[in-house]
Amino acid sequence: MPSAPPHIPDKLYFRIGEVARLAAVEPFVLRYWETEFPALKPGKSSHGQRLYRRREVELALTIKSLLHEQGFTIAGARKQLQQQRKARQPGLAFGGGPAAGHLRTVRQELRELLALLDRKKRPVVVR
């Protein structure tokens, strides 16, 4: 049975030790997951320390759940994450789905605004 996810503090960046404590794993495990899961890519400080954003902390917790609680292998967890990502973005990759019509409308409105602004830039010629 999956345990409740830990509370993630409201801050911009987390060091690897903080993420390790939240996920209840050792820091070397997080470094290994970075090599196996391309989406888990923390930034680095000017001193070379890993800085995880909230999204990456949530991903690390999801990876831990998939591996430790749900029994996925690394390859299986990677595939599961890819399927979850595709499920969250239906149709956007190929221009289909319910959002595609809205995106076309927004694109057309932006083109009309651009044309309007372009007309205003041209100098008025009086003859």
For the chain, the domains span: 1-88, 94-119
Mutual orientation of helices 74-88 and 54-64 as an angle, nearest 10°? 130
Chosen CATH of 1-88 out of 1.10.1660.10, 3.40.1390.20, 3.60.15.10, 1.10.287.3510? 1.10.1660.10
CA dist 116 → 74, 96, 120 (Å): 53, 29, 6
pTM for the whole structure:
0.66
pLDDT digits (tens, 9 = 90+) for 15-68: 999 999 999 999 999 999 999 999 999 999 999 999 999 999 999 999 999 999
